[in-house]
Structure 1
Amino acid sequence: MCLNCLGFAWILAVRTTFLRVIFLITPQNVTLAALNTNYTLTWDWDGSMAPNQDVTFTTDYIDKKFDWTTVCDNSSRKSCCLTEVLHHLGMYVLRVRASVNGSHSNWTQKPFWPDKDAALGPPSRVVLYPAGSVLDVHISDPLTSTNSSMREIRSELYYHIVYWKGPAGVHNLSCQTNLVTLPDLKAWTVYCVTVQCRSNYFNKRSSFTRPLCMQTEGSTMVWWNILLYFLGSLVICFFIMLLLFCGFYKTYNSIKDKLFPSGQLPKHFQEYLSDSHSSDLPRLLTPESELLCDKVMICPEALLKPHLGRHSRQGSSGSSDSGMYSSGDSSGLRQPGSTQSSAGPCDSEQVTMQDVAPEPKSAIADEGIMDMCM
């Protein structure tokens, strides 16, 4: 009895497996994801009908020539890309089937008209630019599978713009240009913008873009910017001129210190080199003064000490004349080339310039003469 039951169960299992392999179910939920010019066919298939079996799928399409063309042959994926083989103005019939170990399911077919059935995508990019108290919206066209503009396919394409500043301030605007200035906006107010592509041919509407928000500016802000820039430039110019002036002043003082030093000659040197006490002009040499000074000899101080002592005694004796120079008569001056014997390098009337230079006036006042070595 039990053996008969086991045999019947085994025969039933083998028969069920054989029937599942022979009569495979077709792919289910066949859909076509079509956006602009991108087309992808997808489907579902119950894998429990052939457990532990390798299932493959084949996808074909037929066009106006009524010839089936295979796109995806024995693919393990549950999708097939048809973007590169379908034209957006064509009309097609698509089909897909499953295969297991050489057995095939029935075909699942789906008609497809790209120009009508394909969805329209949103703008590829939306950017907001503030322009004073208004906003400029720059819209980029939706793109095809080859990254070209959808306007090349749909020339009637236009944009629907929705902008608002709050729940109660929603505005709508339609345009065909890529650059739009939103009107009737308030200064210093935040507005949000979203854009949708539209085509009246087949009445297509894309999804809205992600909302973008930006604050408007105003004329007050512009004037404040101008004023701040002006004041900033004045401060910068002031510091530049200050640095240049400091550099010039330092250079001027350095040149002045080198050309016109602050040190002055001693007072007795200035009196000796000047014509008079009240004059700053230097003493000028005349031809007569050059004739009187033929030759000046500077003698050592050791050789002059005895003679200077005798000369001092002569000055103090009160005699009327020393024999060489006379205060009343100029005939006592020694002439060049006179024959007078000398006891050494300098006689008793010869003195050094060091003894005469410090106090020239006192020597003349005492004796009225100046002894020089000629």
Structure 2
Amino acid sequence: MSAAFIATFLLFCLQTNPVGAEVAAPQNVTMVTLNTNYTLSWDWDQSAGSHAVTFTTEYVAKFNLKYKKKDPKWLVVCDKTSHHSCDLTHRNLNYLGIYMIRVCANVNGSHSDWVHMEFCPDKNAALGPPSKVNLTLAGSTLDVSIHDPLDSTNTSMKEKIPLLYYHIVYWEGSAHTQASGDQTLTTSANLVTLPDLKSWTSYCVSVQSRYEYYNKSSSFTSPLCMQTAGAIPWWVIFLSFLGSLIFFFTIVLLAIFGFMKIYKTIKTVFYPSNQLPPHLKEYLCDSPASDVPRLLASPDSESELLCDKVIICPVQVLEIHFPPPEALAAPPSGLEPDSSGRHSRQGSSGSGDSGVYSTGGSSGLRQPNSNQSGVSGQSMLSAETSWQGPFDSEQVKMRDMTPGLKRQPLITDEGIVDMCV
């Protein structure tokens, strides 16, 4: 009985003995930091146990461990996570505080031994480079504008590290020609003017954050390059002035040319060169000087009743045909001039009749002879109306159209000679 009791007791003790020592603990526990970003990371041997392993991370302020308490209150950050890291940034740890952090592995309800590490952000946290660096031209030199590193809440790290300063390195050339002869400058200001620079020369700048108390230094920023300026040569000023002058005159000429084209187009549209005749403007427009047409009135309007009818009658133009000079210069056949300038008719009758020939081509008309010289005015009128020739009808029409003209009496003097027109 005693042997069986001892065997049962030993089996019970083996079943109730904690198996924590049988689970492998995490290895290479480190803190990855930058300013106020803290991440705890570790390694674990996969061959030491099952693949279904989880990890638990806790922390406590170190001053709480100094009290004589058996069980200080540890704050859990990551509980049974499968990742090999735990982020403590959101815990807002005091930058000047000291904390104890521990982590263990969990397998099938059993956990490994705790791995502890001490962490002080002010001492152990890495310092980051400036958040931003700008270069501005200041004549023959350069101004360097430095923005402070930022913490996890986008606040300047100078609030946590008042002794933060910057180490500036600048050199002549390009970003890939950095040599041993670089110039350096140390400052805690955020705006720095680089001294002893050459005119019209390209310089590159890189900045580093430093904290001397714990000998912290950040990485350098990416190089920024810019060329300095200096006194502008006279030929550059002259060419700039000449170019601006040509550009200005070109713009003015183009503006004038465009204005003239638009003006001519508007003038052609609104003021055409072909205008209405004055006599049409008088009747079609409100006034002779206006181009606005008169409004048409209705057929029953009073203005149409006041207008008189216009009748257009054709007028026949009298045509006068003059004989050629040869016909006027030579006397008619059968007549011979006598000594007194009269034309005597030659014929079988042998009478002494004499006639006067008109200058209008009516040489065929015969005047009464000398024996009938005493004929009265009525005989003359009848003789006048009895003319025969190609212009008798036209002469009658002219007399009818101009009744106001006085008739000229016929000249019966036999002493009148023919005249040429």
Q: TM (normalized to structure 2)? A: 0.55
Distance 1:128 1:300, change over 3 A: same
Worse-matched range after superposition: 152-161 or 242-251: 242-251
Contact 2:126 2:216 in 1 (8 A): yes
Distance 1:21 1:49, change over 3 A: farther
- Secondary structure of 2:221's aligned partner: coil
Contact 1:311 1:349 in 2 (8 A): no
Q: Which residue of 1 aligns with 2:241?
A: 230
- For residues 82 and 245 of structure 1, the distance between their equivalents in structure 2, rounded to whole angstroms, comes to 73
Give the counterpart letter for 1:135 in structure 2: L
Distance 1:151 1:20, change over 3 A: same
Instruction: Give the count of matched residue pairs.
Output: 272
Q: Which residue of 2 aligns with 1:208?
A: 220
Percent of pairs identical after alignment?
51
Give the counterpart letter for 1:214 in structure 2: M
Q: Which residue of 2 aligns with 1:158?
A: 165
Distance 1:244 1:22, change over 3 A: closer
Does 2:196 match 1:184?
Answer: yes
- State the 1:346 CA deviation: 2.5
- For residues 215 and 175 of structure 1, the distance between their equivalents in structure 2, rounded to whole angstroms, comes to 23
- For residues 172 and 228 of structure 1, the distance between their equivalents in structure 2, rounded to whole angstroms, comes to 39
- State the 1:80 CA deviation: 0.8
Distance 1:196 1:224, change over 3 A: farther
- For residues 54 and 193 of structure 1, the distance between their equivalents in structure 2, rounded to whole angstroms, comes to 52
- For residues 82 and 117 of structure 1, the distance between their equivalents in structure 2, rounded to whole angstroms, comes to 14
Q: Which residue of 2 aligns with 1:139?
A: 146
- Secondary structure of 2:399's aligned partner: coil
**Deviation string for 1:86-120 (max 9, x for gaps)?**
22122111111111111211111101111221111
Q: Which residue of 1 aligns with 2:373?
A: none
Once the two structures are superposed, the pairs formed by residues 220-259 of structure 1 within 5 Å of their partners are 220=232, 226-246=237-257
- Secondary structure of 1:231's aligned partner: helix
Does 2:132 match 1:125?
Answer: yes
Contact 1:162 1:173 in 2 (8 A): yes
For structure 2, which runs of at least 5 residues remain unmatched after alignment? 1-13, 66-72, 173-177, 274-312, 325-357, 363-393, 403-419
Q: Which residue of 2 aligns with 1:103?
A: 110
Contact 1:20 1:49 in 2 (8 A): no
The two structures, once aligned, show a CA RMSD in angstroms of 3.9
- For residues 74 and 41 of structure 2, the distance between their equivalents in structure 1, rounded to whole angstroms, comes to 19
- Secondary structure of 1:25's aligned partner: coil
Q: Which residue of 1 aligns with 2:399?
A: 347
Contact 1:22 1:103 in 2 (8 A): no
- For residues 28 and 116 of structure 1, the distance between their equivalents in structure 2, rounded to whole angstroms, comes to 23
For structure 1, which runs of at least 5 residues remain unmatched after alignment? 1-14, 260-296, 318-341, 351-365, 368-374
Contact 2:19 2:110 in 1 (8 A): no
- State the 1:249 CA deviation: 6.8
Distance 1:343 1:117, change over 3 A: same
- For residues 249 and 193 of structure 1, the distance between their equivalents in structure 2, rounded to whole angstroms, comes to 57
Distance 1:247 1:344, change over 3 A: farther
- For residues 47 and 78 of structure 1, the distance between their equivalents in structure 2, rounded to whole angstroms, comes to 12
| Greater C-alpha Rg | 2
Give the counterpart letter for 2:359 in structure 1: Q
Q: Which residue of 1 aligns with 2:316?
A: 300
Contact 1:299 1:346 in 2 (8 A): no
- State the 1:148 CA deviation: 1.8
Q: Which residue of 1 aligns with 2:84?
A: 78
Contact 2:20 2:112 in 1 (8 A): no
Distance 1:344 1:242, change over 3 A: farther
Distance 1:245 1:344, change over 3 A: farther
- For residues 249 and 96 of structure 1, the distance between their equivalents in structure 2, rounded to whole angstroms, comes to 88
Q: Which residue of 2 aligns with 1:60?
A: 58
